[in-house]
Structure 1
């Protein structure tokens, strides 16, 4: 079983190259029976992609470009999404287990009420995205991602890891951040610092966190 370790968290990832596994090329992710298994899909430019009450199990989506994306109750298990642009996707009421997003764009996306378990976002553009009521039921990692002006609202990111991410004006709203690992990021310009109770940072980040708090509270620092 494949895995990746980031700090204190190990993410179990899909092993789509294991011996005996064959991924069949499919032309649609919206089958009549509501599930797609052992699949390969992509290299497509779509005007819209709407999926509801669907399960994608063991497969790879690559080089997919969509102008409009609407996902509801779209559950993924053992899926890689690589080099794809899902734009300002609207994705709600779903569970993602052993899922990897690599080199993807979800700029301006709204992810609402997703349960994440062994999910890795790696090298993704998530600028201006909104994460609402996201729950980390297992390991969740953002590695090398751009999250400029992204917003986390009412999320449970317990034990989640952010590593080498761009967090410029990223807003952490009220939520649960116990042992959320922010080491290895520039956190001087994050917002919602007062909500980051019990997070994990490195010693060298203390001045950055203080700078962010001073800016958030509008405190003026002057000489005598």
Structure 2
């Protein structure tokens, strides 16, 4: 079981230029800050952000499929229902952000931290997660269908009705998390670390009746 692993933090220059978001033909944004603003109605495939800080930014009706995020911080942003599917997301921090229904299906995430984020109904289906931590997040009804996990940690998270179907939970420690029930594939729960109380919910998946 691997629970204590290091996450590479975003490497961002101390000299960033504050900009107002405008779609560019080349769709590449480097060493800049977007702050206290709205990004609305944008649909750009393959957009790239490197060494960028988003602070108090609200995304509305945004589709950035195949997005490339490298050394990026989202601080107190609203990313609800944003489409980042098929994205490449590396050395990124999502901090105190609202991410209800965010679409990260088929994305590749490496050295990523989700810190105190509201991410209920988020979609990670078919994504690859390597060195990723969820710290104090609400992930109720989140979808992790058929994901690849390598050094993934969940600490103090809410996971009720989250789906891990077809995803191996070997080495995943859920003992600090809260959930009433999970959706899992029985063949993939071997090696998952849970508490005695949490084991009751897993026993129900096996069709067992537990008497007190």
TM-score after normalising by structure 1: 0.85
How many pairs were matched up?
210
Give distance in 1, aligned partners of 2:39 and 2:47: 18
1:181 is matched with which residue: 173, 183, 186? 173
Q: Which residue of 2 aligns with 1:216?
A: 205
Greater displacement, 189-198 / 154-163: 189-198
Unmatched 5+ stretches in structure 1 = 1-5
Aligned match for 2:43, one of 50, 58, 62: 50
Match of residue 13 from structure 1:
9
Q: Verify the 8 A CA contact 1:68 1:86 in the aligned structure 2.
A: no
In the other structure, the counterpart of 2:156 is: 164
Tell me whether 25-34 or 157-166 shows the greater mean CA deviation: 25-34
CA contact (8 A) 1:159 1:181 kept: no
Q: Which runs of 4+ in 1 moved over 6 A?
A: none
Greater per-residue strand proportion:
1
After superposition, the CA RMSD in angstroms is 2.1
Tell me: CA distance 1:30–1:93, structure 2 relative to 1, closer, same or farther (3 Å): same
Matched residue, 1:65: 58
SS of the residue 1:117 aligns to: strand
Structure 2 unpaired stretches of 5+: none
Counterpart Cα distance in 1 of 2:211 and 2:113:
43
Deviations 1:97-135 (A, max 9, x none): 100000111112221111111000000011011211110
Report the equivalent of 1:87: 80
Provide the C-alpha distance between the structure 1 equivalents of 2:180 and 2:166, rounded to a whole number of angstroms: 19
SS in 1 for 2:74: strand
Q: Return closer, same or farther for 1:32/1:178 CA change in 2, 3 Å cut-off.
A: same
Cα deviation 1:166-206 (Å, max 9, x = unaligned)? 1112121102333233232134522216232333x25xx13
